[in-house]
Amino acid sequence: MELWVIISVAAAAFQTLRFMLQKRLSMGTLSAGGSTLARFWYSAPFVTALIPVYLMVRDLSLPTIAPNFWPYALAGGASQILATWCVIALFAQRNFAVGITFKKTEVVQTALVGFVVLGDRISPVGVAAVLVGLIGVLALSEAPPLGGRIWAGLRSRATFLGIASGAFFALSAVGYRGATLAVESPDPLLRAGLSLAIITVLQAVALSFWLAVREPGQVSHVAGAWRTALWIGLSGLAGSLCWFTAFTLQNAALVFAVGQVEVIFSILVATLFFGERISRREAVGMALITLSVVAVVVVR
């Protein structure tokens, strides 16, 4: 089994753990914004400390960063903040596994954005796969009132948050891959770690200022919830480091394909830790979206 595949599976596992902890915090004193901040606040100190240690152990010098690193990093970092915020807000609307599956529409949306913006071609089979994904989203969306049209479910807050999270995660993945490739080093772990350290610090500072103005008291609540939030930071750090490293080794779309194992992890978490039941309709929707995502990656 190739290294990037193992790293991608590990990334999905750490990300599931992080979202599980964030859902627990968002059910208490923290808002969606506060839970999002916890992920960056408690990761930044560790990832910044790892870089000088890694350089010393490997006897390496700090690599040069190309100018195009910054637009990629800023776009990826901002998109990840918005994506995480959407997912946590979605947990308040739907169960854990459904929320994670909605997020996995990121791959299908990446294919569509690539076609519109970059002119990437999608084969007829790929178009069919995207349509299968749309049916899956309709199945996951809230059931319409008696006599209503199924399209009405797309207007629900949960559906909007789910699709938006997938879009923002797709944008962040493209930004992060561009950022890691702009770090001039042959060491993939160093490229990933340095990119992650810079972006995480920027995210923590920017979101702290935003919440201080928009949601007074949330920053102090994040500090007070350190016993759980610390593990959010550590699991988020481990997951991001794995994603970043995988992006340096393989195309982001293929990394995302392997990352679909996150859906399986989310079902286990939903049933074992949150005691949530998945309806037949939701199970069908989750299966269709997963099939669509894998098909898009294979045939695009």
Residue 144 has pLDDT above 60, yes or no: no
The C-alpha angle 276, 294, 260, rounded to 5 degrees, equals: 40
The C-alpha angle 188, 200, 40, rounded to 5 degrees, equals: 130
Question: Which one has a higher pLDDT value, 128 or 169?
Answer: 169
Report helix, strand or coil for 183. Answer: strand
Provide the mean pLDDT of the chain. 79
Question: Six-digit token pair at 233?
Answer: 């930071």
Question: Which one has a higher pLDDT value, 159 or 176?
Answer: 176
Range among 57-71, 87-101, 157-171 with highest mean pLDDT value: 57-71
Q: What percent of the chain lies above the pLDDT cut of 70?
A: 75
Residue 147 has pLDDT above 60, yes or no: no
Question: Six-digit token pair at 223?
Answer: 């500090």
Categorize the per-residue pLDDT at 146 as very low, low, confident or very high, splitting at 50, 70 and 90. Answer: very low
Radius of gyration of the chain (CA): 19
Q: Is residue 162 a contact partner of residue 229, using CB atoms and an 8 Å limit? A: no
Q: What global pTM score does this model have?
A: 0.74
Q: What is the DSSP string of 44-80?
A: HHHHHHHHHHHHHHHT-PPPEE-TTHHHHHHHHHHHH
Q: For residues 90 and 94, give the distance between their C-alpha atoms in angstroms, rounded to a whole number.
A: 6
For position 277, what pLDDT does the model report?
A: 77
Q: For residues 58 and 261, give the distance between their C-alpha atoms in angstroms, rounded to a whole number.
A: 33
Task: Give pLDDT tens digits for 8-63.
Answer: 889 989 988 988 888 887 777 788 888 889 889 999 999 899 899 999 998 989 99
Q: Is residue 30 a contact partner of residue 173, using CB atoms and an 8 Å limit? A: no
CA nearest to 200, candidates 67, 51, 39: 39
Task: Give pLDDT tens digits for 204-253.
Answer: 999 999 999 999 989 999 998 888 889 988 998 898 889 888 877 876 66
Task: Give pLDDT tens digits for 118-127.
Answer: 455 656 766 6
Report helix, strand or coil for 184. Answer: strand
